Amino acid sequence: MSRTLETTQSGPEKTILVGVELRRRAQQSFTAEESLEELRTLALSAGAEIVDVYTQIRDVADSAHMIGEGKLEELAAAVEATQADLVVFDNELTPTQLRNIEKRLDTRVVDRTQLILDIFAKRARTREGQLQVELAQLQYLLPRLTGKGVAMSRLGGGIGTRGPGETKLEVDRRKIGLRISKIEKSLENVRGTRLIQRSQRQSVPLATVALVGYTNAGKSTLFNRLTQAGVTADARMFATLDPTVRAVQLPSRRKVLLSDTVGFIRNLPTTLVRAFRATLEEVVEAALLVHVVDSTAEAAQQQMAHVQAVLEEIKAHETPQILVWNKQDREGSAQLPEGAVGISAATGAGIAPLLARIDDALTLDPVAPCVLRIPASDGAALNLLHESSRVLTKTYEEEIVVIEAVAPESARRRLAQYLVA
């Protein structure tokens, strides 16, 4: 039996990584070594056991196999020697290249995009997240149907086979097209629900602050530190996909809504950017972006550039940003750039200055000093002021409480009758 079909197994899959550096391609922000190291991390996150790594430098990609004939034979020998279950290419493969390589290697082959989609399929927890991943997978699968035949009809249990179509991967284009249409309608309903929720939030003067950053930069750890939300946070890439929104109180005592979003990555598949539109709208609609960077990453600057590229793609690049240099407690952390806030989300160091920066940067419901004379009997007014404002001094004049405070506009408006001109 062809080993291509043997995709049901337990335990880590023996995996060979392949990277091709193309000299004639436009200047890349990541070196070939950095790119392969990231691919290794992605593969480990998907449950792979890396048994070998191959690289090749070429002027242009081979149209039939991506790599040259000699390297392909060398790779085939390595697959046989290691009994590899899977070969992962760091480059995106055309449908023709994918079919040809699988035929020559007699084992499963996936490219970087498929690997990312697979990890997303593992991580999605909510129905919305699962629909978004399924849509992206189907959009990727559609032009690659030709020639998959028998291999696509098998139950899958390995990397690159999770998600939609595990039991009916031989389904024709028409059926996939119908499924895509159905998912898109479902996600439009989700989008409509989000718009209603967003408009309801906007009726109350609460600004939304979105955490953005490269995957594994520490966004979820920071989110948990600020909100005590208990969101999954670990070293795996894309450990959390589904957006979470929680309220956070700033030093001025204003409340804001903090949103944790999916981590970005270089060459994030276009199908994923489109599919996760409803989720990414939380970023687009935010009043402020907190860009979290792993200060220990050797490619920190390149990672920042890729985050900015995704923000431009979703039209959120003009939103005000605060740069946060995370993991400052670790050895090897880079020097703090000018204007950035240095923190350690793990230990809590630097959180107070970060909250102060967020407070200063938000223009919605601005705070201002004021003096109020509130009857001691008006407990509701006193409670509102203490909950929403920073009280500086409080004195008593018979039945009146005179309070100096720094209060948001919404509170000053509701307590206008007590304001001292």
Length of the chain as a residue count: 421
The residue-averaged pLDDT of 260-282 equals 71
pLDDT at position 270 over 80: no
The residue-averaged pLDDT of 160-178 equals 64
Q: Is residue 236 very low, low, confident or very high in pLDDT (cuts 50, 70, 90)?
A: low
Contacts of 411-414 with C-beta under 8 Å, sequence gap 24+, read 411/384, 411/385, 412/368, 412/370, 414/384
pLDDT at position 315 over 70: yes
pLDDT of residue 231: 55
CA 53 to mean position of chain CA atoms: 27
Over residues 347-365, the pLDDT tens digits come to 999 999 999 999 999 888 8
Cα separation of 223 and 216, whole Å?
Answer: 13
**Residue closest to 293 by CA, chosen among 222, 353, 213:** 213
Over residues 68-118, the pLDDT tens digits come to 999 999 999 999 999 999 999 998 899 899 999 999 999 999 999 889 888
Cα separation of 190 and 184, whole Å?
Answer: 10
Interior angle at CA 402, CA 399 and CA 406, nearest 5: 150
Percentage of the chain modeled with pLDDT above 90: 44
pLDDT at position 201 over 70: no
The residue-averaged pLDDT of 364-373 equals 91
What the chain holds in terms of domains, given with CATH numbers, is: 3-123 (3.40.50.11060), 205-361 (3.40.50.300), 367-418 (no CATH)
pLDDT at position 291 over 80: yes
pLDDT of residue 75: 96
The residue-averaged pLDDT of 369-393 equals 94
Task: Note the pTM of the prediction, 2 decimals.
Answer: 0.74
Cα separation of 38 and 115, whole Å?
Answer: 12
pLDDT of residue 14: 95
- Helix axis angle, 127-141 relative to 277-284, nearest 10°? 120
The residue-averaged pLDDT of 124-132 equals 77
pLDDT of residue 275: 64
User: In the numeric block, which tokens belong to residue 102?
Assistant: 């699988």
Q: Is residue 220 very low, low, confident or very high in pLDDT (cuts 50, 70, 90)?
A: confident
What end-to-end distance do the CA atoms of the chain give, in Å? Answer: 87
Q: In what order do the strands lie in the sheet with 390-397?
A: 367-375, 400-408, 390-397
pLDDT of residue 143: 78
Q: What Å distances lie between residue 44 and 49, 163, 237, CA to CA? A: 7, 18, 9
Beta-carbon contacts of residue 385 (< 8 Å; ≥ 6 apart): 372, 374, 391, 403, 405, 407, 411, 415
Average pLDDT, the chain: 83
Q: Is residue 391 very low, low, confident or very high in pLDDT (cuts 50, 70, 90)?
A: very high
pLDDT of residue 23: 81
Q: Is pLDDT larger for residue 242 or for residue 172?
A: 172
pLDDT at position 166 over 90: no
pLDDT of residue 238: 55
Q: Is pLDDT larger for residue 269 or for residue 338?
A: 338
pLDDT of residue 170: 55
Over residues 316-337, the pLDDT tens digits come to 889 999 999 999 999 888 889 9
Percentage of the chain modeled with pLDDT above 70: 80
The residue-averaged pLDDT of 281-291 equals 87
CB-side exposure of 170: number of CA atoms within 13 Å? Answer: 6
Cα separation of 284 and 275, whole Å?
Answer: 15
User: At which residue do the structure tokens 């197994």 appear?
Assistant: 9
Contact (Cβ atoms closer than 8 angstroms) between residue 203 and residue 197: no
User: At which residue do the structure tokens 């599919």 appear?
Assistant: 275
pLDDT at position 25 over 90: no
Q: Is pLDDT larger for residue 44 or for residue 266?
A: 44
pLDDT at position 159 over 80: no
pLDDT of residue 4: 37
Residue type, 3: R
- Max mean pLDDT among 95-99, 190-194, 243-247 falls in 95-99
Which range has the worst mean pLDDT, 194-203, 309-318, 380-389?
194-203
